Amino acid sequence: MNTYKRQHVAFERGEGCWLWDKQGKRYLDALAGIAVVGIGHSHPKFVQALTAQAAKLIHTSNVYEIEHQEALGERLAAVSGMDEIFFCNSGCEANEAAIKIARLYGHHKGIEMPAIIVMEKAFHGRTIATLSATGSRKVQAGFEPLVPGFARVPFDDLAAVRKVAENNRNVVAVLVELIQGEGGINICHDDYLHGLREICDANGWLLMLDEVQSGVGRTGKWFAFQHSGVKPDVVTLAKGLASGVPIGACFAAGAATGVFKPGNHGSTFGGNPLACAAALTTLDIIEHDKLMANAVAMGELIHARFAAQLKGVAGVRDIRHKGLMVGIELEYPCDELVKNALAAGLLINVTNDNVVRLLPPLVIKRDEVEQLVAILSPLIADFLARARAAQPAVKTA
């Protein structure tokens, strides 16, 4: 179906941060399949583990015990501090599980119409429930009626959440991305998560974090919430967890533990031996190759280099980063930069109309950062010069 505005290029093979198209042209991949291939393309250890598992066993069913799933569950519980995990196949499914946990939790408390607080500019997926939770009219338009039971507030605004607490007795949970990815790499303030935890505790709500894009080492810790020391009740994960083999996960702790009982939820593929072997190997590689420390160092380097190269360039509004989630906000809608970068052998993304988003593999090296900055800075400067000449009015949202 005609669901994607595709770039006209097809890749044939990859290695680390590089992809090659059918004509043999090489591209620096600063997107990693949208925060998926953290360990880089075709990591030898990953390829070996995946092929070995494929030769042995790919799929059985969740009606049987699955050793790899148990091992992955134990491993993820250890690195996250969470107590229970449900495995599915994508980020939106992980969030569906979180939404169902919140509703069931509410019903157990006698709340008949449970509501979840969600944020403006949030992105939680494209199923009917998760697009209803998403804070973007573009994503929702045409798919009404939306699923009820979501109360929306501005991101990073504790007063707005407190106000809902005073007025809406149906609220049972808050669902939030600590770093909004699709929304434009919007990073919450340091005290935001502590504040949300306090409000949730005071009201008996679940604190639910969507770490689908920010998880698995991308911000320099396994999870973005681990920068704060706050423990959530529910966490969702997908994207980077199995380096491109589809997997999603919904974690529960505290009051969210034990909400689901047999029959409440399920998945045919979720957590099968192949996906779990891929995830276990991904975690091994991130740990062994010290990729989280690299994400911190390379994120700082990318920020510093762009700040230096774009200093004084009119039309650059802000440069933001947490580890290897990087956003360069411009004053103009800049979709054309994706095509310009592609022609120059660089893969990037533009989100929320005017934010250049970089989500490179966690394995990116210093010289690759230098190449990224050397290609992209002049493209941005050139674009802005043309945009300012053509349309002096700036985007304000």
Catalytic residues: 123, 210, 239
CB of 370 to ligand PLP, least distance (A): 28
132 makes contact with ligand PLP (CB under 6 A)? no
Binding-site member from 14, 16, 91, 270 for ligand PLP (CB under 6 A):
91
Q: Which residues pair with 153 in a beta bridge?
A: 119
Q: How wide is the angle at C-alpha 137 spanned by C-alphas 133 and 143, nearest 5°? A: 75
Distance in angstroms (rounded) separating the CA atoms of residues 6 and 19: 17
CA quadruple 156, 318, 394, 121: dihedral, nearest 10: -30
Among 69-77, 123-131, 159-167, 371-379, the segment contacting ligand PLP (CB under 6 A):
123-131
Which residue number, 41 or 124, has a Cβ lying nearer to ligand PLP? 124
Picking from 331, 344, 353, 332, the residue whose alpha carbon sits closest to that of residue 377 is: 344
Binding-site member from 53, 69, 186, 213 for ligand PLP (CB under 6 A):
213
349 makes contact with ligand PLP (CB under 6 A)? no
368 makes contact with ligand PLP (CB under 6 A)? no
What are φ and ψ of residue 331, in 5° steps? -85, 0
Picking from 372, 386, 268, the residue whose alpha carbon sits closest to that of residue 332 is: 386
Among 59-67, 118-126, 359-367, 381-389, the segment contacting ligand PLP (CB under 6 A):
118-126
DSSP string, 85-150: EEEESSHHHHHHHHHHHHHHHHHHTT-SS-EEEEETT----SSHHHHHHS--HHHHTTSPSPPS-E
Binding-site member from 29, 96, 210, 368 for ligand PLP (CB under 6 A):
210
Distance in angstroms (rounded) separating the CA atoms of residues 373 and 310: 10
Which residue number, 40 or 91, has a Cβ lying nearer to ligand PLP? 91
223 makes contact with ligand PLP (CB under 6 A)? no
Query: What tokens were used for 390?
Result: 């053509």
Binding mask 164-203 for ligand PLP (x = CB under 6 A): -------------x---xx---------------------
Q: Three-state SS for 388?
A: helix
92 makes contact with ligand PLP (CB under 6 A)? yes
125 makes contact with ligand PLP (CB under 6 A)? yes
Report the residue closest to ligand PLP, judged by CB.
Answer: 91
234 makes contact with ligand PLP (CB under 6 A)? no
Residues in touch with ligand PLP (CB under 6 A) = 90-92, 95, 123-125, 177, 181-182, 210, 212-213, 238
